[in-house]
Structure 1
Amino acid sequence: MHCAGCARRIEKAIAPLAGIELDAVNPASREARLRAESGAALRNAVTALTEAGFPPATQVLRLDIDGMHCASCVGKIERALSELPQVLEARVDLATRRASLKILEGADPGPAIDAVRRVGYQAEFIDDKADAGRAREAAERASMKRRFLWAAVLTLPVFVTEMGGHLVPGLAAWLDASLGRQTLLWGQLLLTSLVLFGPGLVFFRHGLPALLRGGPDMNSLVMLGASAAWGYSVIATAVPAVLPEGTANVYFEAAAVIVTLILLGRWLESIARGRSSSAIRGLIELAPETAWVERDGEAVEVALNTIEVGNIVQVKPGAKVPVDGVVVDGGSWVDESMISGEPDPVRKQQGDKVVGGTLNRTGAFRMKTGATGADTVLAGIIEMVEQAQSNRLPVQALVDRVTGVFVPVVMAIAGITLLAWLWLGPQPALGLALVNAVAVLIIACPCAMGLATPVSIMVGMGRAARSGVLFRKGDALQRLRDVRRVAFDKTGTLTEGRPRVVEVTAAEDQDGDWLLALAAAVERHSEHPIARAIVEAAQARQLDIPDSSEFESATG
């Protein structure tokens, strides 16, 4: 999916399917959000998208399965897993006692464990520490960068030999005299061909099928414009006699440069998309990968996705709270700024609720799990931000309507231009007609119209998320343009998030450093954030902090 035209074709492919409700299609994040009434309906949607040229992204999960003994066990587990709507393919290996699942990227893998347990076996995920979405984005950025660099290296000699004479007087004449005009043309043909059918082949792979399906997109324009300029130049170089006199001109540099520039734009676009989606990844990474769960009276470190409601989890000092739950033993100060925006840690004791992703400070406690996976507060925040990023703003609806007819209209204008120059243009009419028709296609090639709005939404919301501001609705971002004043109901959300000592004022007959050291001697035993600020201030002044004894903490 590259532009709003692709999004419209996806909507058209999904529309006739029964049991599928399409929420939104976002060409910037390359995501489509839909609801399926059944597993069969979801698989029909996957098939329809694949046939339309937009196969959904998938990821592979692996399970360790305990209790398999024969081929009958394999068949039973495979059937149970294949019945899950999010599982596209399930394979179970008796020799390794492992299952490999191909599921839709982003789908909840938790039900796979339940399905295996329902048929009488035990299973747990094999955590390879890999983030499929991040790996795919990184691979795409690397591919785009590699394509652009190769295209730039191959295009530069073509551009210099053809257009350098306009910048450096005498260069063209010197090149013709030194190498020969025909040698230069064959060299340009070779290099331009490598650009088009090497790094630029991606436009043919996407643009030609779209054109054949009757739904040309921006890739189709790039393909048609560049290949028309290249094809005409090949004829002018190889068999100039077939063209009318005076029309055997070459436009290799136009074909090579437009492909290179658009590859540069795609690379920059992928960088912007990666930066904006890092806000979502940052929220996801707030939750730890593992947690200490009590099993059979002992604390065992397990993967986060294996924790179940009702499990007793131990949270150590400095660790992140893994899931939502209630404190059953112990106490601590927990930094809940990611939820409340308040910078001061909150005291947590027996019976208090804690939220997954928040940071435990200095104490330790045991908690009973109340919610896991998609049911946690953090998961709800991530879902809210993702929905806000994928929602269509009012301005985007206008853009979508324009881009829906943009490509066919541009192709029609190019055809009219060709015919008009052939009929009304001066001689050589054919050469001028082709040049101007190709110019129309090339000028319309960049995808800025279809991508500017969704990418701007993602970049804006991503930047806001990194600053701690989350949008609950997509149109809120557009409505900010009318905001002239912002009122905050408290100053806590505008601070650094931690207290510090900025000044020590002592009585006339007292030494401020001595008082600070004395206070630090007592406060060094406390877990309170203000106590920690006093100790840090004394250490920053390199004061000699005396020892203290018989410390008591009065909570309140």
Structure 2
Amino acid sequence: MTSATELDLPIPGISCASCAGRVTRALTALPGVSDLNVNPVTKRAHLRLDGATLPQVQEALAQAGYPADLTTTRLSIEGMSCASCSGRISRALSARPDVAEAQVNLATHQAQVMHAPGLSPDTLARLVTEMGYPAQVAAPGRPAAPPPDEAPVLRRDFLIALALTLPIFVVEMGGHVVPGFHHWLHSVVPTRALWIVQMVLALAVLAGPGRRFFAAGLPALRRGAPEMNSLVALGSGTAFLFSAVVTLAPGVVPVASRQVWFEAAAVIVTLILMGRWLEARAKGQAGAAIRALIALAPDTATALRDGRPVKLPVADLRAGDLLLLAPGERVALDGVVTEGSGPVDESMLTGEPVPASKAPGDKVTGGTVNGNSALTYRVTATGTDTVLSRIVALVEQAQAARLPVQALVDRVTLVFVPAVMALAALTFVLWLIWGPGLAHAVVAAVSVLIIACPCAMGLAVPVSIMVGSGRGAQLGVLFRRGDALQKLAEARVVAFDKTGTLTLGRPRVTGTWTDGIEPRQALRLTAAAEARSEHPLAAAILAEAEGMDLPAAETVTATAGRGLTAVVDGHALLIGNGAALKAAGVTPAPELMAQAEAAAAQGATPVHLAVDGHHVATFALADPERPEATSTIADLHQLGLETAMLSGDLPATAKAVGARIGIDRIHAGLTPEDKLTAIRGMGKGSVFVGDGINDAPALAAADTGVAIGTGTDIAIESADAVLMSGDPGGVVRAIRLSRAVMRNIRQNLFWAFAYNAALIPVAMGVLVPFGGPQLSPMLGAAAMALSSVFVVGNALRLRGAA
């Protein structure tokens, strides 16, 4: 690869020449960028990097307000066994100037790379493969294939190694259990013969089940990039080779050091295989949530073909097909009900325990379960376009994410394995000089190599993310960006949009007062006129009048700020606010105006009706709060968080709603730009929850944007996390889960780091001069294996979080 790199970046935000000028100025100011050409017609920027990198370019474009549209490639990688492996791959990918970000996940065996569109995904896969980790490009638009289940193979290899190791272990350690065993055994079988049998059995362990450590570790050592397998290969190989020399050429070794450690070499491999088998089983449980999501979609469905029901594979169905849904059957694909009505259990997707009632025109989602009614629905989405497929993709994306806390692990593992090898060499030299002999020095060095394998470090963060993201999906909380898991745990203030988030977003008539006319007649006349109106409040009046026989309205005219006029049943009608009555010269009825003022003080919108010039009725229309809104705010307060409302509604309405549900700070009458300013003023730890198009800027600006899943696609795309149901209480579950995940990660990191910090010095023998113990290689292998199992097991506790 040459020092200079050509980039051709799509920048969709460019809409005119002035936009192109701003992009040009932003990139020109960046050192290391040359040959720049920004085309406003094609919305692309061509440039040459000579010292600059794509992350720098993307940051400059983002600050200018015109981020580039980069390509994301997912790789499936084999052979990763520890944090050193994943860290090395991440650094190699990130070192390319045309790569913006590379996230490598040890738990899922996958990498997610964001790069310039001109960089071929095959080039990335080839780069990783050449490092010794076979990689393939995952098919776009499909869930990534999970890493192969290693548990059965590891179990088989562990049992083989155990059977071969047991005789060696009994020969060497039997005397510690049964006094006199060693004396009897050596009187029956010559010592040299016993050593030869042990050597053959140990060689079978290392060359058979333990071959994987040497096949991966020694090439990595030759490349100057040692990792966990290298430590195991060096440790067990050194113990075996030293013992083999003592057995086959004893004259080479001083008499005082003629000891064999075949049991150490064999037991190391056996115990580490056991640890990997248990770890593989646990990691399989960690991915259970996403497998359960994938399993929600049935393989077949009953379609109507020429009026007859036909059982067909779901893969053969297309948008527009009519499907029959039997009671208790699982919905195959997203669609719209055309016949029948009844409840559908959507809890596996939304976390809501109460089934949702469905009727013709309502949407149904693939993976949900029909209740006790037969339904017919028309397919609207198939394949990767379904809600379930998008959920799976979002969960996978979050599971592959790299949290900011991972940077600490990356910095440590960058130097960890080389440092351990240096410490092992130092231990060998020191014990050779001041210790009792060569054998003791070898054992001490092997103990250091074995006990320091960084498996637990590499798994501490990704396994917690993996389990936490899956648990979130079960609770109806989807993390679109993995770092939202960490940011939500650091939240200080949670701000909500009002309409559609804390309220139902559907105004309804909450009060009717009349003067000289029957309430039903007033509603009938008003609804007849509003039937021709597109105003949001018209729908509330029509809903209230549902089932009434409405007369036809004539000469309907709507004027902004002056209400609506119409002729109904020969009467001239005026419908509007108090200003509209005044502008039309209608004298307001005092009693009705008093009711209107009282309703407005409670956050309702008064609508007046005048018939033939007389003010005869007043309606109060309000957008009721969601039933869960008050408990959501109370729960957030219990978590120690401040709450705020950012609303574009009238101040009186917003303050009334906020007061009823207990909001701390209320900001009303805001434009989208005002919401953006308010969010930025909240500083670090801000969370914004919204659902509308006008919420997108605030969702993007907040430290963590949380979109209501029933909201607009634009809002969801701008958010870091999505609540699949309309329940704002999902943000409480999200924050509790986030805190649990971060607490779990801190526990795992403490264990991983503290384990190594405490036991490496013990393995080196620093306690021996003070009468303390020194860990044997066998105990070191057991401790190392159990540390990884502990970390994964601890992460599995998150399956019951929140």
- When the two structures are superposed, what TM-score results if normalisation uses the length of structure 1? 0.68
- Kindly provide the CA deviation profile for residues 458-502 of structure 1, in whole angstroms up to 9, marking residues without a partner as x: 34555665677765654565679889xxxx86999xxxxxxxxxx
**Conserved in 2, the CA contact under 8 Å of 1:315 and 1:366?**
yes
Work out the CA distance in 1 between the residues paired with 2:359 and 2:234: 68
* Structure 1 position 266, deviation (Å): 0.4
Are the aligned partners of 1:18 and 1:41 in contact in 2 as well (CA < 8 Å)?
no
Q: Distance in 1 between matches of 2:379 and 2:96?
A: 40
CA drift at 1:238 = 0.8
| Letter of the 2:261 counterpart | Y
In structure 2, the CA distance between the partners of 1:302 and 1:50, relative to structure 1 (3 Å rule), is farther
CA displacement at 1:190 relative to structure 2: 1.0
Q: Which residue of 2 aligns with 1:524?
A: none
Q: 1:16 to 1:478 in 2, by over 3 A?
A: closer
After TM superposition, give the deviation of residue 454 of structure 1 in Å.
2.3
Seen in structure 2, the aligned counterparts of structure 1 residues 367 and 162 have a Cα distance that, compared at 3 Å, is same
In the TM superposition, 1:366-385 aligns within 5 A as 366-385=376-395
Kindly provide the CA deviation profile for residues 76-125 of structure 1, in whole angstroms up to 9, marking residues without a partner as x: xxxxxxxxxxxxxxxxxxxxxxxxxxxx5564469xxxxxxxxxxxxxxx
Asked whether the 8 Å contact 2:103–2:112 carries over to 1, the reply is yes
Q: In the alignment, which residue of structure 1 is the partner of 2:619?
A: none
Paired letter, 2:182 = A
Aligned to 2:93: 14
What's the offset of the Cα at 1:148?
Answer: 0.9
Kindly indicate whether residue 215 of structure 2 is the aligned counterpart of residue 205 of structure 1: yes
Distance 2:110 2:630 in 1: 37
Higher mean displacement: 461-470 or 269-278 = 461-470
Pair 282,405 (structure 1): closer, same or farther in 2 beyond 3 Å: same
Q: How does 1:259-408 map to 2 (within 5 A)?
A: 259-295=269-305, 297-408=307-418
Query: 2 CA distance for matches of 1:17 and 1:204?
Result: 30
CA offset digits 1:489-526 (Å, max 9, x no partner): 6999xxxxxxxxxxxxxxxxxxxxxxxxxxxxxxxxxx
Question: CA separation in 2, counterparts of 1:149 and 1:196?
Answer: 14
Whole-angstrom CA distance in 2 between matches of 1:466 and 1:334: 17
| Equivalent in the alignment of 1:425 | 434
Shift of 1:340: 3.3
SS at 1:321 equivalent: coil
Alignment-mate amino acid for residue 414 of structure 2: G
Aligned to 2:124: 45
Q: Letter of the 1:416 partner, please give it.
A: L
| 1:241-287 deviation line (CA, Å, top 9, x unaligned) | 01123111111111111111111110011001101111101011111
Q: Structure 1: how far apart are the matches of 2:197 and 2:469?
A: 47
1:5 aligns with 84
Q: 1:402-429: per-residue Cα shift (whole Å, max 9, x none)? A: 112110111111222233344x32553x
1:163 aligns with 2:173: yes
Checking the alignment, whether the CA contact within 8 Å between 2:175 and 2:182 is kept in structure 1 is yes
Which residue does 1:441 correspond to in 2?
449
Distance 1:367 1:33 in 2: 37
Specify whether residues 289 and 35 from structure 1 end up closer, same or farther in structure 2 by C-alpha distance, changes over 3 A only: farther
Distance 2:108 2:212 in 1: 19
Q: What residue is the counterpart of 1:543 in the other structure?
A: none
Partners of 1:294 and 1:260 in 2: CA distance: 58
CA offset digits 1:285-340 (Å, max 9, x no partner): 11111223344554443332333333333323222111222222333321122233
Relative to structure 2, which stretch is displaced further, 27-36 or 346-355?
Answer: 27-36
Where 1:368 maps in the other structure, the secondary structure is strand
- Write the distance in 2 (CA, Å) between the matches of 1:152 and 1:198: 12
Residue 453 in 1 paired to residue 461 in 2? yes
What's the CA shift string for 1:164-211, capped at 9, x where partnerless? Answer: 223322111111112221121111111111111111001011111211
Checking the alignment, whether the CA contact within 8 Å between 2:87 and 2:413 is kept in structure 1 is no
Structure 1, unaligned runs of 5 or more: 58-103, 111-130, 493-556
Determine which of 223, 234, 240 is the counterpart of 2:244. Answer: 234
Which protein is bigger by CA-based radius of gyration? 2
Q: What's the counterpart of residue 516 of structure 1? A: none
CA apart distance, 1:213: 1.7
Q: Over aligned residues, Cα RMSD in angstroms?
A: 3.2
Rounded Cα–Cα distance in structure 2 between residues aligned with 1:373 and 1:336? 19
Shift of 1:369: 2.2
Distance 1:310-1:425 versus aligned 2 partners, 3 A rule: same
Work out whether residues 276 and 461 of structure 1, in 8 Å CA contact, stay in contact via their aligned partners in 2.
no
CA distance in 1, matches of 2:474, 2:347: 14
Equivalent residue, structure 1, for 2:527: none
Name the aligned partner's letter for residue 354 of structure 2: D
Distance 1:411 1:403 in 2: 13
Q: Structure 2: which amino acid aligns with 1:160? A: V
Q: CA deviation at 1:388?
A: 2.6
Aligned pair in 2 of structure 1 residues 173, 489: CA closer, same or farther (>3 Å)? Answer: farther
Opposite residue 85 of structure 2, the aligned amino acid is: C
Query: Separation in 1 of the partners of 2:142 and 2:388?
Result: 17
Matched, 1:178 2:178: no
2:51 matched residue in structure 1: none
Q: How much has 1:7 moved relative to structure 2?
A: 1.0
1:243 to 1:282, Cα distance in 2 relative to 1, 3 A: same
The answer as to whether partners of 2:349 and 2:473 remain within 8 angstroms in 1 is: no
For residues 630 and 102 of structure 2, what CA distance do their matches in structure 1 show?
36
Change (3 A) 1:342 1:467: closer
Contact 1:19–1:41, Cα closer than 8 Å, also in 2: no
Corresponding position of 2:103: 24
Does residue 154 in structure 1 map to residue 233 in structure 2? no
Distance 1:462 1:337 in 2: 15
1:418–1:19: structure 2 CA closer, same or farther, 3 Å change rule?
Answer: same
SS in 2 for 1:363: coil
Q: Is this contact kept in 2: 1:287–1:357, CA < 8 A?
A: yes
For residues 41 and 239 of structure 1, the distance between their equivalents in structure 2, rounded to whole angstroms, comes to: 55
SS of the residue aligned with 1:53?
coil
Give the conservation status (yes or no) of the 8 Å contact 2:84–2:227. yes
Given the alignment of the two structures, is residue 250 of structure 1 paired with residue 329 of structure 2, yes or no?
A: no
- Unaligned runs of 5+ residues in structure 2 are 1-79, 492-627, 633-802
**CA distance in 2: counterparts of 1:280 and 1:171, whole angstroms:** 53
For the residue of structure 1 that corresponds to 2:361, the secondary structure is: coil
Amino acid at match of 2:340: G
C-alpha displacement at 1:373, in angstroms?
Answer: 2.2
Structure-2 separation of matches of 1:9 and 1:426: 36
Alpha-carbon separation, structure 1, partners of 2:97 and 2:490 = 41
User: How many residue pairs were aligned?
Assistant: 420
